[in-house]
Amino acid sequence: MRVVINKNCERSPPFAENGKQFMTVLVESLPGAAAAVTPCCLGDAQRGFRGRIHTIDAGPHSHALPADELERRLIELGFTEGATVEVLHEGFFGRDPIAVRVNDATVALRRREAMAIHVV
Cβ burial of 117 (10 Å; 0-12, 13-18, 19+) is buried
Its pTM stands at 0.68
Q: Is the pLDDT of residue 63 over 70?
A: no
Q: Is the pLDDT of residue 61 over 50?
A: yes
Nearest-angstrom CA–CA distance, 97 and 81: 22
According to DSSP, residue 43 is labeled: G
Nearest-angstrom CA–CA distance, 50 and 55: 15
For the chain, the helix, strand and coil percentages under 3-state DSSP, each to the nearest 5 = 15, 35, 50
Choosing among 3.20.20.450, 3.30.2090.10, 2.60.120.620, 2.30.30.90, the CATH entry for 37-119 is 2.30.30.90
Q: Is the pLDDT of residue 47 over 90?
A: yes
Q: For residue 100, what pLDDT band results from cuts at 50, 70 and 90? A: very high
- Write the pLDDT tens digit of every residue in 5-39: 444 455 445 555 555 544 444 444 445 545 456 88
